[in-house]
Amino acid sequence: MLSNSSKYAIKAVLFLALNASEKKKVMVKDISEPINVPQAYIAKLLQSLVKEKIVSSARGPKGGFYLDETNMDHPIISIVNVIDGEKRLNSCLMSLKKCNEEKPCPLHNELSASRAQILNSLRSKTVKDLVKEVKLGNAFLPI
């Protein structure tokens, strides 16, 4: 469904949203441990996210990663798109290509509605939305 890398990235972004800010940046080594992802690995993922402006960063002493207000408004799918590419969640369930709506495969009619719902949630839910759920105690960050 999602690659390991995407899962890691989502965890990291949410962790930052909850624990960092422009005036309290967090370094990779303080991210990797609580989210349980190897440091060098999450560092690389974060770099990709910074490049696409999904997260913010600053180097040098007092540097680190954080999310600014615009970062918080990104939909979760944008994280997945950066890490996994656009087509991962989009390909036909029976072939490697995307759905052919005129000639749907036998799984399409059965499953496409559910899949569309998932896509839709990932598109509409922002980092801020998920953070709110965690703050309300309705959801938890898995390690």
User: Of 1, 23, 59, 137, which lies in the binding site for DNA, with binding defined by CB under 7 A?
Assistant: 59
From the CB of 88, what's the least distance to DNA, in Å?
A: 8
- C-alpha neighbours within 13 Å on the C-beta side of residue 70: 6
| Site for DNA contains 135 (CB under 7 A) | no
Task: Please state the closest distance from residue 62 (CB atom) to its own copies, in A.
Answer: 29
Q: Please, which residue, 58 or 139, has the CB nearer to its own copies?
A: 139
Residue 67 to residue 46: CA distance in whole angstroms: 12
CB < 8 Å & 24+ apart, contacts of 29-37: 30/64, 31/65, 34/143, 35/8, 35/11, 35/141, 35/143, 36/143, 37/8, 37/11, 37/12
Q: How far is the CB of 138 from DNA (least distance, A)?
A: 28
Q: Footprint of ligand FES on this chain (CB under 6 A)?
A: 92-94, 99-100, 104-105, 107-108, 112
- What SS3 state is found at 85? coil
51 binds DNA (CB under 7 A): yes
Please report how close the Cβ of residue 115 comes to its own copies at its closest, in angstroms: 7
Degrees (nearest 5) of the Cα angle 11, 30, 18?
45
For its own copies, the closer CB: 60 or 106: 106
- Which residues make up the interface to DNA (CB under 7 A)? 3-5, 8, 26-29, 38, 40-41, 43-44, 46-47, 50-51, 57-65
